[in-house]
Chains A and B, each alone.
Chain A
Amino acid sequence: QSALTQPASVSGSPGQSITISCTGTSSDVGSYNLVSWYQQHPGKAPKLMIYEVSKRPSGVSNRFSGSKSGNTASLTISGLQAEDEADYYCCSYAGSSTLVVFGGGTKLTVL
């Protein structure tokens, strides 16, 4: 069982928006603005899409955005495109003892 809870799957049609939630606790997501999100296509290494809750690395489309409220972080993808179909993982800093926790991953299907 993963430390952070994500829905197993979400889906949307091209052009629509979807949101993936990532629920942790007051020891990780709730205490630090250090949530990151990764996109992983089959057979490929993960790619950093969002860091520090809502910041986008250079080169990542502005269709990807992140937010946080309490113990839950969210990734929103607007204007869904076929190439967005992938697995998405959230990750959070969890203090100096545990350090890093991942979510279980969410499979995004573009219908």
Chain B
Amino acid sequence: QVQLVQSGAEVKKPGASVKVSCKASGYTFTSYYMHWVRQAPGQGLEWMGIINPSGGSTSYAQKFQGRVTMTRDTSTSTVYMELSSLRSEDTAVYYCAREFFICSSTSCPPEFDPWGQGTLVTVSS
């Protein structure tokens, strides 16, 4: 079955970087775009960006431009999200989520299924 398995929880100090992984299985990894969405404690969902696992092209939400980098490793069917210059407000659960359908550009309809289990990133001094 289609499955996304994320890396474990992280604790980081302000100013540091964090890299979260999302390993895909059960489908052709390069056929479906992948999104990253985060959720601060008790808050709503926030879209961060999208990556094309085939060519590696990305689009990021303006809020995260310059601080986020999404990459992929096709040999292990894994996508990564790295967030730098961490601050306390970045404390959140970070989710990877696959596009529901195959699409042809980063302007994919926002239809996310399945989702990873989430990775809690805590930023604290």
- Chain B CB within 8 A of A52 CB: yes
Cβ–Cβ contact A52 & B111, under 8 A: yes
Contact residues in A for B110 (Cβ distance below 8 Å):
34, 36, 91-93, 99-100
Contact residues in B for A100 (Cβ distance below 8 Å):
35, 47, 50, 61, 110
Of the candidate stretches A10-18, A65-73, A102-110, the one touching chain B is: A102-110
Report, as a range, how many residues of chain B touch the other chain.
20 to 34
Interface of chain A: mostly helix, strand, loop or mixed: strand
Known: A100-B47, A102-B47. A46 touches B59 (CB 8 A): no
Closest residue to B62 on the A side, CB-wise?
A98
Please, how many residues of chain A have a CB less than 8 angstroms from a CB on the other chain?
A: 24
Contact residues in A for B62 (Cβ distance below 8 Å):
98
**Chain B residues in the interface with A (C-beta under 8 A):** 35, 37, 44-47, 50, 59, 61-62, 95, 97, 100, 106-107, 109-118
Subset of 7 A-B contacts with CB under 8 Å:
A36-B109, A45-B116, A47-B113, A48-B111, A48-B112, A89-B44, A99-B110
